Structure formats: C-alpha cells, structure tokens
C-alpha cells in the first residue's frame, strides 16, 4: 500500500485510543492563569514515553514545562515542526458547565466537552499523534520532524515557544511549521491579526462625591478617552497585493463568515478595539482619583504598531491626566502572515479535501497564535484545526469525528511535505 493508505489505516485502527488520549488530556486541568501545566505536560510525556518517541522536557519555569522532541527520517530533506500548546483559558464557574465540571471530558452526542478541548487540546493531540505516525514510518520519509508542546501560549509565550526559539533555535526554526489551533474545516490559516494591548492610567486629585467642583473624575475622563480610542478603527491599512486579493475573494469571505461568524470577513482587514477592562473609584460618594483601562487592539495586515501608537499619542495630547503602557509582546510590530499560495498550504488543502470532501480556503484570522514566532523568522507557518465556534465558552467542545479528521489531515499533510524516500 501507499504511505497515505498506511497512515489512514493506522489512524483507523487507533481511533478508540486517540479519542481516549484526547479525553484524558482534556480532563487534566491546565488553566492559564494560573499557568501550572505540569500535570498536562506529564500526561503527554507518558504517551511519548510509552511509544518510544524521542523528546525531552525544557522547563525555564518549573510549573510551565515544555516538551521538545526531534528525529531524523530515512534520508536528508526538509525540516517540519509540529506545534501545539498545553495551557488553556481559565474554566470559569463549574456550575455553568453542562457536565460535572469544566474538566469533565464528557462525551455526549458525538462531542467531547471540556475547557481547552477546542483551544487547543484537539490540535495538540493531533500533533502528538502525527509525530507518532511519522516516527513509525520514518524509514519511508525524508527530512526531519520536531514536536513542540508548549506552555504559556495563552499569556504570550515568554516561557514557551519564545523561550524555545531563544535557547533551542536550531530545533525550532525548521523549514515550515504546522499548527493545530482552531480553524474550522472550511479554512486554513496563513496569517493572523496582531494584538496590541495597551493599559491607560488616568489620575486626578479626587474629592468627596458632593464636591464635584474640586476635582475632575478619573472615570468620566476614562469614558471620554474610550470614546476617542474608537478613532483607531478608522486607520486605513496598506494591504499587500497578494493579501488584498485573498481577502477580496468571495470564497474566502464566505468561509470566514461560516467559520468565525457573521461579520468576520469585514473585521479581518480592519483595526478593531475591545475595552477588556475598565475600573476606577473606591466608593459611591467619592470622586475617583484613578481609572485604569485595558484595551485590546487588533491590527490587520498593512497597519503597523507604530501607526497606531502615533494616533494614540495624538489622542492623549487632549488627556494630560493619562499615561499609557504596552503589555503585548514588544517584538510584534505588525500582523503575522506568510505566503497564501505556499506549498504546505496546498498540501493541507489536498489532505483536507481527501479526508473531509471540503477544500479549505486560505484565510487570515482574528486571534493570535504561536505560529507568529515562525513567521517572525520568515518561516511559513500554517494552521488547520477544529471549529473555533465553541472555544472559550462554557460547554466548549469538539466533535469526535472532527477531531479524528484533524489527526488525518495533519498526518497526511506532514508526510506529503517531508516526501517519501527515493
């Protein structure tokens, strides 16, 4: 049989095992914050050890370990990196989940429930499964494969992918990265908007609430500032031609609307503003002397951080009581993207079409991922995973059939990229 047929046969024989592996991983709490992923890393390590797969633990922070493994195939060739993360969003109130808890891993009506099931334990297990399959057939392949299962993705990657690039760069860089973050069966992601997180602090004298003539209110100034920050969404991008063509494609727009919800297609090419937090004041009858505003600004391809900061600084000229600081990664200066016509993208499309009957279209998406670290190094990084429609919500879940299809697509696309040994 062909390698493709052998890979699909292996996956079919291991379906029950893979579902159990996915379920067990979801049942391990790995919320970030607080960020302690030791149990999740140990769970994956046991799977790798049981299958004799090469890896080691790299833990610059003891409670945030990363797993890093590599192997060479039967002949020289290209180097493919598989990337997934262990940490997930906080679970929220257990009482609002339909099963016993956010970590139930319950399977109901063909779906597996639990925090992080979509973002991104489905994709991380797909990477581990593909790593095992490629290792099993390594003598028929060319090149090199690296697996990275990292912590700290949800809080920026300082102790995860960023650290591994800084200290284990030769293993990390490779020639291409395949990531399993949510994408939906309709899309493959070649880029993503850049998050610019700014914190504004407004300080005034403050006073008794009845003596409004003595001091400005920091919270009222904050309201005015938040209204003015909406002007950032009017910044026009200078979009590269290849990206502009992609964003204008009716099929791409339809896929974005289908995968990310109505309105997503218009937002991909625009600056957006979300006021994630606003707090101020100590007591009802006191004029607030301080207000803190946390803004999540997302930059499309064609708008740099510097253009946005220039506009922010111009607005703050009218608010001398306010200061601003940046909490996002200082190395990120623009949206992250690679070739929308790249070879791996087409291989993912081919594999997905074979497996699901759907040919996913290339898109830029709204949220950031660790794929940006490869693109920052001019290494193409593509994302194919489960649907994002339930990630980050109560009752987050993934269809079992969808999960298995993600495993199949990753294995087939990875093998095709490496190529069979001649």
Task: Pull the structure tokens for residue 218.
Answer: 């920091």
Please report the DSSP string for 173-200 in residue order.
Answer: H-SEEEE-S---TTEEEEEEPEEEEEEE
pLDDT digits (tens, 9 = 90+) for 316-342: 999 999 999 999 888 899 999 999 999
Give the CB-side neighbour count of residue 299, counting CA atoms within 13 A.
Answer: 24
The rounded mean pLDDT for the chain is 96
Task: Pull the structure tokens for residue 386.
Answer: 């489960």
**What are 293's strand-pairing partners?**
200, 278
C-alpha 375 chain-centroid distance:
14
pLDDT of residue 206: 97
pTM: 0.91
Q: What are φ and ψ of residue 342, in 5° steps? A: -70, 160
Q: What percent of the chain has pLDDT over 70?
A: 100
Please report the DSSP string for 50-62 in residue order.
Answer: HTT---EEE-SST
Q: What percent of the chain has pLDDT over 90?
A: 93
Task: Pull the structure tokens for residue 220.
Answer: 């009222």
pLDDT of residue 239: 95
In order of their start, the domains of the chain are 3-192+335-418 (3.40.630.10), 194-235+271-326 (3.30.70.360)
Task: Indicate the helix (H) or strand (E) that contains 412.
Answer: helix 400-418
pLDDT of residue 232: 98
What Å distances lie between residue 368 and 119, 167, 307, 328, CA to CA?
12, 22, 19, 11
Which residues, in sequence order, are CB contacts of 88 under 8 Å at separation 6+?
Answer: 30, 31, 32, 115, 116, 119, 120, 121, 154
Task: Pull the structure tokens for residue 406.
Answer: 């993600």
Mean pLDDT of the 121-148 span: 98
**What are 31's strand-pairing partners?**
88
pLDDT of residue 401: 98
- Helix, strand or coil for residue 317? coil
Question: Which residue would you say has higher pLDDT here, 27 or 422?
Answer: 27
Give the least confident one: 97-101, 206-210, 303-307, 395-399: 97-101
Mean pLDDT of the 240-267 span: 90
pLDDT digits (tens, 9 = 90+) for 35-70: 999 999 999 999 999 999 999 999 999 999 999 999
Sole residue written with tokens 């946005």: 308
Reported as a pLDDT band with limits 50, 70 and 90, residue 74 is confident
Question: How far apart, in whole angstroms, are the C-alpha atoms of residue 94 and residue 88?
Answer: 15
Task: Pull the structure tokens for residue 239.
Answer: 């979009």
pLDDT of residue 300: 97
Mean pLDDT of the 304-311 span: 98
Select from 80, 172, 85, 70 the least CA-distant residue to 124.
85
pLDDT digits (tens, 9 = 90+) for 154-164: 998 999 999 99
Angle (deg, nearest 10), helices 400-418 and 15-26: 110
pLDDT digits (tens, 9 = 90+) for 352-386: 999 999 999 999 988 899 999 999 999 999 999 99
pLDDT of residue 422: 65
CB atoms within 10 A of CB 386: 28
Does pLDDT of 166 surpass 90? yes
């Amino acid at each position: 049989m062909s390698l493709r047929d052998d890979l699909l046969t292996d996956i079919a024989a291991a379906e029950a095992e893979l579902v159990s592996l996915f379920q067990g991983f979801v049942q391990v709490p790995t919320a970030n914050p607080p960020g302690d992923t030791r149990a999740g890393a140990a769970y994956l390590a046991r799977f790798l050890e049981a299958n004799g797969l090469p890896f080691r633990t790299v833990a610059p922070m003891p409670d945030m370990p990363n797993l890093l493994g590599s192997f060479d195939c039967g002949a020289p060739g290209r180097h493919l990196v598989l990337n997934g993360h262990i940490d997930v969003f906080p679970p929220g109130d257990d009482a609002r989940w339909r099963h016993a808890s956010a970590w139930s891993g319950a399977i109901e009506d063909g779906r597996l429930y639990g925090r992080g099931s979509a973002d991104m334990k489905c994709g991380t297990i797909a990477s581990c499964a593909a790593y095992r399959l490629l290792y099993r057939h390594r003598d028929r392949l060319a090149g090199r494969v690296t697996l990275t299962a990292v912590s700290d993705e949800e809080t920026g990657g300082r102790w995860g992918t960023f650290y591994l690039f800084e200290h284990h760069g030769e293993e990390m860089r490779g020639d291409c990265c395949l990531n399993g973050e949510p994408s939906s069966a309709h899309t493959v992601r070649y880029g993503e908007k850049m998050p610019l997180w700014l914190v504004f602090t407004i300080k005034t004298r403050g006073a008794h609430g009845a003596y409004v003539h003595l001091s400005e209110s920091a919270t009222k100034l904050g309201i005015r500032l938040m209204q003015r920050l909406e002007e950032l969404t009017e910044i026009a991008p200078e979009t590269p031609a290849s990206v502009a063509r992609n964003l204008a494609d009716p099929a791409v727009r339809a896929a974005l609307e289908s995968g990310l919800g109505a309105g997503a297609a218009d937002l991909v090419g625009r600056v957006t503003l979300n006021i994630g937090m606003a707090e101020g004041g100590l007591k009802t009858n006191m004029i607030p002397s301080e207000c803190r505003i946390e803004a999540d600004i997302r930059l499309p391809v064609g708008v740099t951080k510097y253009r946005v900061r220039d506009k922010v600084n111009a607005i703050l000229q009218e608010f001398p009581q306010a200061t601003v600081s940046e909490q996002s990664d200082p190395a990120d200066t623009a949206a992250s993207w690679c070739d929308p016509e790249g070879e791996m993208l087409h291989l993912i499309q081919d594999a997905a079409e074979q497996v699901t009957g759907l040919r996913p279209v290339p898109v830029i998406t709204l949220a950031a991922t660790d794929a940006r670290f490869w693109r920052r190094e001019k290494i193409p990084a593509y994302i194919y995973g489960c649907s994002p429609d339930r990630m980050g919500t109560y009752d987050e879940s993934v269809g079992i059939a969808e999960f298995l299809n993600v495993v199949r697509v990753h294995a087939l696309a990875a093998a095709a990229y490496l190529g069979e040994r001649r």
